[in-house]
Amino acid sequence: MKISIFGSYNGTSTGDTAILLGLMRAIYQEHPAAEVTVLSLGPLDLSKEAQLGRYTNRPKVVRVNAWIFEELPLLSSIVWRLQRFLPYRSILGSINDRRCKAGLAGQDLLIICGGNLLMDLFPGSADLIERVCSISEKSGVPYCFLGVGAGPIAGESARAIFAKCLAGARSVTVRDQGSLDLCRGLLKCENAVRAPDIAFALQNSRRTNTRRGGLAVNVAAVGDRTWPKPDEEQYRSYVAGIVRLVRAVIGECKPQRVEFVSTNGIVDDRALDDVRLELNRLRSGDTPVATVASCQSVTDVIEAFSRANLAITTRLHAGILAAVAGCRVLPVAYDRKVGAVLQEERIAPHAIELADICDEEWNIRASLNLIDDLPEGPRDTIGAEA
């Protein structure tokens, strides 16, 4: 069986890679001899993840938004320097039809999987999905949506595009109830169903790790210039709130170590550094120095969470991977999806809202009480369902 997979796979988000690995593990479990082609949106190195993805021969990776400018270093350098004068620079981020068709040639199925793919928060998001679905249809390859998130969808054009794409799909599976309601209501896809995020299909090979006793911290750069809607004032309030929360948790739980775990590379680096440096500046007594875990792969992230008893997470898939590692999760919901997915799968009964984090009068004591309600240990039933 030949299967192509498309999603937000660009090599910079460990969460998106975790979705991909969970899907490949499921595919190879059902079809050990399957030939998998990943249609990526950036350089993607899967060499370190063979155990998690359960593959012996690495899947073929086709970068479907690469153009000749990026394939040839000299031309890439010239275009980079002249881009402000070149109106066609925007095509570098669009789908290369030739490459996409090549990745779909002779395939039995295209799986559009994972991430918040059905939304128009970023310009061109709907057009990208429409292009991939159109090329798939013209290539005679059936497609389905699996484990995707939906919303926000504000524009009428995006709404029409997504409704058309879902109508042409063999099946539609979303990862949370809010996405299901949106697909069935706004997008008129009545056959949509809900199932756990595909990243839950991963298994932790280090559950017997005896080095627990730490606190893991994951921070997204909410409001930073890397964000869809930059807001420096919000960012500063958010960072100050995260610092207050982490300090309170350290005082309550007395961890042996504090490690920062990043799942989104350079996008979140500023927030990680700002929070960590401020924590170390304010620390006193025997409070451990906050360090950064080296996380170059999904395997590294799971390993880092395996050293902790509790994880404070803002990124959705940081929370999911912490749960896979058998760590308790206290989520900060900067977006609806974070609280929804983790609550619906009973990873965390409650989530701390972004508005509370940014409020200087926020009652941290009430949030600390949430820790006692957090379930412990890995949830195997979720992984089996995923």
Chain segment 90-117, per-residue pLDDT in tens: 433 578 899 999 999 999 999 999 889 9
Question: Predicted confidence band at 294 (pLDDT cuts at 50, 70, 90)?
Answer: confident
Query: Measured between alpha carbons, how far is residue 42 from residues 16, 77, 82 in Å?
Result: 12, 17, 22
Specify whether the CB–CB gap between 364 and 248 falls below 8 A. Answer: yes
Question: Predicted confidence band at 208 (pLDDT cuts at 50, 70, 90)?
Answer: very low
Both tokens of residue 13? 């988000």
Question: What contacts 41, CB < 8 A, 6 or more positions away?
Answer: 8, 9, 10, 63, 64, 65
Q: Alpha-carbon torsion 52, 53, 54, 60, what sign?
A: negative
More reliable by pLDDT, 262 or 71: 262
> What is the reported pLDDT for 324?
92
Question: Predicted confidence band at 87 (pLDDT cuts at 50, 70, 90)?
Answer: very low
Residue 12 has pLDDT above 90, yes or no: no
User: How far does the chain reach from its first CA to its final CA, in angstroms?
Assistant: 21
Q: Name the burial class of residue 87, with classes exposed (0-12), middle (13-18) and buried (19+) by CB atoms within 10 angstroms of its CB.
A: exposed
Question: Predicted confidence band at 319 (pLDDT cuts at 50, 70, 90)?
Answer: very high
> What is the reported pLDDT for 71?
55
Give phi and psi for 135, each to the nearest 5.
Answer: -65, -40
Q: Once rounded to an integer, what is the mean pLDDT over residues 253-281? A: 94
Query: What is the CA 380 to chain-centroid distance, rounded?
Result: 20
Question: Predicted confidence band at 289 (pLDDT cuts at 50, 70, 90)?
Answer: very high
Q: Once rounded to an integer, what is the mean pLDDT over residues 8-26? A: 91
Query: What is the CA 242 to chain-centroid distance, rounded?
Result: 20
Q: Which residue has the tokens 């479990």?
A: 29
Question: Predicted confidence band at 15 (pLDDT cuts at 50, 70, 90)?
Answer: very high
Question: Predicted confidence band at 212 (pLDDT cuts at 50, 70, 90)?
Answer: confident
**Single-letter code of the amino acid located at 114:** G
Specify whether the CB–CB gap between 292 and 259 falls below 8 A. Answer: yes
Q: Determine the Cα–Cα distance for residues 11 and 129; give it in Å rounded to an integer.
A: 19
Lowest mean pLDDT among 61-65, 83-87, 91-95, 104-108: 83-87
What pTM was estimated for this model as a whole? 0.89
Per 3-state DSSP, what percentage of the chain is helix, strand, and coil (rounded to 5)? Answer: 45, 15, 40
Lowest mean pLDDT among 12-21, 218-227, 312-321, 365-374: 365-374
> What is the reported pLDDT for 83?
45
Residue 206 has pLDDT above 80, yes or no: no
More reliable by pLDDT, 212 or 81: 212
Q: Determine the Cα–Cα distance for residues 357 and 367; give it in Å rounded to an integer.
A: 10
More reliable by pLDDT, 167 or 349: 167
Query: What size, in residues, is the chain?
Result: 386
